[in-house]
Amino acid sequence: MWQRETFKKIKQIPREEHVLPGTALCAGCGGLEALRLAAKVLGDEVVYVNAAGCFTMLAAYPFTPFKGSWLYTTMGSAPAGAQGVRDALDVLIAKGRLPERENLKVVVLGGDGSTYDMALSSTSGAITRKLDFYYFCYDNEAYGNTGMQLSPATPYGARTTTSPCSLQHPSGATREKKDIFEIWRAHKPPYIATVAPRYPLDLEEKFARAATFTGPKLFLALSACPTGWLYDPGETPEVAKLAVETGLWPLKEAINGAVTHTYIPKPKPVEEYLKLQGRFRHLFEPVVQTEAIAHIQERVNAYWEQVEKTEKAV
Amino acid sequence: MMRTVRFHGRGGQGAKTASRILGTAAFIEGFVAQDSPVYGAERRGAPVAAFTRIDSGPIKQRGVIACPDLVVIADASLIQDPAARVLDGVNERTAVFVNSPLTAEQLQAQTPLLGRLTTLDLTTIALQQCGKGGAISALVGAVAGRLVGLRRDSVREAIARELADLGLAATQIERNQAVAIQCYDTVRTVPVAPGAPQPTASARLQVPTYESPTRGTARISAAANSILRETSGWRTFRPVLVPDKCNGCWLCFAYCPDGVISMAKDDRPVIDYAHCKGCQICVHECPTEALVAEREKEGTVAWKAK
């Protein structure tokens, strides 16, 4: 049974803010909520390497919400940028030009378009080179900054601007969400975790644990997105909660490749999650697409059956 | 003669869709129509703009509308926001619609505006009749349609087409149509002067001088200055604490995406209203209903410099 060691009570969440307000991100952004919580553990001694995406709006010229540095890269090259920053810090420290105590953490911020798609090769390279960095993916399951186009993170059945529901494809997106967690895990990095903003203690605990490892530390943050998923901004925590409680977004970590689920939900039917969001409305109106919904449910059931088998065997 | 309309709103309110509704309604009536939003990093709550041109023959103009015949302002708080530039190119001939509970005369007394002013409180109408005050695209589109003189039926049809395109449920579309037509019928009309003189603004492209990386690439030395940007104008509702009901659970603090809620020594939340974007997460998640949503009133939105 997985247990939190550092963060047991909500009042242990540090009071100090490290991502300041005044950014132009959408009201109710689930990704910002996850980043803000993560930064409470990461602190200010950080260089953020930001791939183009919604988080571009964090540090819109000439304003920045960070006390530390922020480096902006193309969508495909943030891990390469992180390598450069890490190397520069290491060289400066080795030459004695930067005192060891002024060492900084290097944190990549990438959306799912960058993470699942464009930056996959540079991430693979960085993990293979055992780059000592954090990778924070804010996953809102589409190219959000450009107006919600299909990405490999878009789940089956979601409507995006490039996967509209049509006569040929009544379900909207026809492909399954890419399993980036397993792709990362195949590289055997020391630490990988999924997090959701509605589970702040789980999130804080995982960032605290990751800090004890040297090498790539990869995070996949469910970024419930009112603008793209089409629900009221105030419902972000509710949507994130149901993603986890229906079993669609498993909370888990992998230490040196060994997976542990950090929260086992008593699974609710997937409809409860889907119904909250406009991007799935076509599955319920004007006619209920029973098969499509059953397909989503079956995939979730199969996932958790597999979890039960493998994690009990350990 | 061509009519030009410029829409201003906040991301999520539907300025872009309103501009599409107007364009589609004109097209249904046999006009040539052109509509386009400002492409940029639009965000829920951030100022956005969209443009519609309507003519009986081909439209050869492109790009932004610097001097529109009609300016439609879907959010009155934008008038005070210099970055939104809602009054650019407005002269005494321009028709100006503002979504506001104030009458044109009251608004004129508060904020002197050029142009022929008319107002209607679309947000309250949407709240009362649709239960939501956020997306008012159909209402804004209908008002614009009325002001430029399009027919009721084509506006109604355009709303159906554009909202169906957005994936709205049939019942919601009908509701929106009904409320929008009510706004179409009640808005006080002002003449929209066709073809107000359009000074062609010339845009000069500035070629940046290249500096080699040894001289320094773009580097900005600033830290944590986003706090200088206030986002209070993004709100339709503000969260307000009812201290007696608060059990000091910290949940509002934990879930606030922007980090505008801090916990006082007595475990009561303190809300930074200069930066709260009004997402209502804290109101939704408060287990004791100690945070309630209060409608922002015109003139109470703080734009105070810190």
| Probe site for chain A from B238, B265, B279 (most A CB atoms < 10 A) | B279
Number of domains in chain A: 1
What would the CATH number be for the domain defined by B228-295?
A: 3.30.70.20
Please choose, from the candidates B94, B25, B97, the residue with its C-alpha nearest in 3D space to the C-alpha of residue B66: B94
The pTM is what?
A: 0.88
Q: Residue A228 and residue A163: Cα distance in Å, rounded?
A: 13
pLDDT digits (tens, 9 = 90+) for A113-125: 999 999 999 999 9
CATH fold for domain B3-186:
Pyruvate-ferredoxin Oxidoreductase; domain 3 (3.40.920)
pLDDT digits (tens, 9 = 90+) for A18-67: 999 999 899 999 999 999 999 999 999 999 999 999 999 998 878 899 99
pLDDT digits (tens, 9 = 90+) for B182-233: 999 999 999 987 765 555 556 666 666 665 666 555 666 778 899 998 888 8
How many CB atoms lie under 10 A from the CB of residue A261?
17
pLDDT band at A299 (very low <50, low <70, confident <90, very high): very high
Per-residue buried b or exposed e for B48-82, using 16+ beta carbons within 10 Å of the residue's own CB: bbbbbbbbeeeeeeeeebebbbbbbbbbbbbbebe
Of A27, A285, A286, the CB nearest to B45: A27
A4 in a structural domain: no
pLDDT score of B304 more than 60: no
pLDDT band at B246 (very low <50, low <70, confident <90, very high): very high
Q: Residue A127 and residue A192: Cα distance in Å, rounded?
A: 11
Q: Over chain B, what is the mean pLDDT?
A: 87
Please list every residue in chain B whose beta carbon sits closer than 8 Å to the beta carbon of residue A36. Answer: 256-259
Mean predicted confidence (pLDDT) in A249-276: 96
Mean predicted confidence (pLDDT) in B297-302: 50
| pLDDT at residue B305, rounded to an integer | 28
Mean predicted confidence (pLDDT) in A110-115: 97
Q: Residue B109 and residue B55: Cα distance in Å, rounded?
A: 35
Q: Which residue has the tokens 């009990």?
A: A312
How many CB atoms lie under 10 A from the CB of residue B156?
19
Measure A239 CA to nearest chain B CA, in Å: 11
Measure A310 CA to nearest chain B CA, in Å: 33
Please choose, from the candidates B123, B78, B116, B77, the residue with its C-alpha nearest in 3D space to the C-alpha of residue B97: B116
Residue B253 to residue A13, Cβ atoms within 8 A: yes
Over its C-alpha atoms, chain A yields an Rg (Å, rounded) of 19
Tell me, rounded to whole angstroms, the distance of Cα B208 from its chain centroid. 33
| pLDDT at residue B215, rounded to an integer | 58
Please list every residue in chain A whose beta carbon sits closer than 8 Å to the beta carbon of residue B264. Answer: none
pLDDT digits (tens, 9 = 90+) for A215-255: 999 999 999 999 999 999 999 999 999 999 999 999 999 99
pLDDT score of B270 more than 70: yes
Q: Is the ipTM above a cut-off of 0.90? A: yes
Please list every residue in chain B whose beta carbon sits closer than 8 Å to the beta carbon of residue A20. Answer: 224, 226-227, 259
Mean pLDDT check: name the lowest of A20-29, A127-136, B189-198, B241-250. B189-198
Domain that holds residue A259: 10-313
pLDDT score of A2 more than 50: yes
Give the CATH number, domain containing residue A94: 3.40.50.970
Q: Which two tokens stand for residue B65?
A: 């509308």
DSSP string, A205-231: HHHHHHTT--S-EEEEEE---HHHHTS
Q: Residue A303 and residue A307: Cα distance in Å, rounded?
A: 6
| pLDDT at residue B210, rounded to an integer | 61
Measure B138 CA to nearest chain A CA, in Å: 17
* Residue at A300: amino acid letter: V
Q: Which two tokens stand for residue A182?
A: 């397993």
pLDDT band at B43 (very low <50, low <70, confident <90, very high): confident
Residue B44 to residue A17, Cβ atoms within 8 A: no
Q: Residue A221 and residue A33: Cα distance in Å, rounded?
A: 10
pLDDT score of A190 more than 90: yes
Q: Residue B177 and residue B161: Cα distance in Å, rounded?
A: 11
Rounded to 5°, the CA angle A149-A153-A157 comes to 75
pLDDT band at B261 (very low <50, low <70, confident <90, very high): very high
pLDDT band at A304 (very low <50, low <70, confident <90, very high): very high
pLDDT band at B143 (very low <50, low <70, confident <90, very high): very high
Residue A57 to residue B167, Cβ atoms within 8 A: no
A2 in a structural domain: no
| pLDDT at residue B213, rounded to an integer | 60
Do A253 and A195 contact (CB within 8 A), yes or no? no
CA distances from A303 to A247, A267, A300, A307, A308 (A): 9, 12, 5, 6, 9
| pLDDT at residue B299, rounded to an integer | 47
Mean pLDDT check: name the lowest of A145-154, A197-206, B112-121. B112-121
pLDDT score of A193 more than 80: yes
A86 in a structural domain: yes
| pLDDT at residue B46, rounded to an integer | 78
Please choose, from the candidates A190, A197, A191, A207, the residue with its C-alpha nearest in 3D space to the C-alpha of residue A38: A207
A185 in a structural domain: yes
Please choose, from the candidates B279, B282, B280, B281, the residue with its C-alpha nearest in 3D space to the C-alpha of residue B270: B282
Please choose, from the candidates B189, B59, B48, the residue with its C-alpha nearest in 3D space to the C-alpha of residue B120: B189
pLDDT band at B42 (very low <50, low <70, confident <90, very high): low
Host H or E run for residue A108: strand A105-111
pLDDT score of B82 more than 80: no
pLDDT digits (tens, 9 = 90+) for B170-196: 888 999 999 999 999 999 999 987 765
Contacts of B10 (CB under 8 A, 6+ apart): B44, B45, B46, B47, B48, B74, B75, B78, B233, B234
Please list every residue in chain A whose beta carbon sits closer than 8 Å to the beta carbon of residue B249. Answer: 10
Please choose, from the candidates A205, A226, A212, A257, the residue with its C-alpha nearest in 3D space to the C-alpha of residue B277: A226
Nearest-CA residue of chain A relative to B265?
A15
| Domain range list for chain B | 3-186, 228-295
Mean predicted confidence (pLDDT) in B160-178: 89
pLDDT band at B300 (very low <50, low <70, confident <90, very high): very low
Q: Which two tokens stand for residue A126?
A: 């960085």
pLDDT band at B301 (very low <50, low <70, confident <90, very high): very low
Mean pLDDT check: name the lowest of A229-243, A290-304, B34-48. B34-48
Q: Which two tokens stand for residue B260?
A: 């505008």
Mean predicted confidence (pLDDT) in B21-35: 97
Pairing of strands B291-295, A251-255: unpaired
DSSP string, B140-181: HHHHHHHHHT--HHHHHHHHHHHHHHTT--HHHHHHHHHHHH
The percentage of residues in chain A with a pLDDT greater than 90, rounded to a whole number, is: 92
Residue A198 to residue B255, Cβ atoms within 8 A: yes
CA distances from A61 to A65, B225, B250 (A): 11, 10, 33
Measure B168 CA to nearest chain A CA, in Å: 8
A3 in a structural domain: no
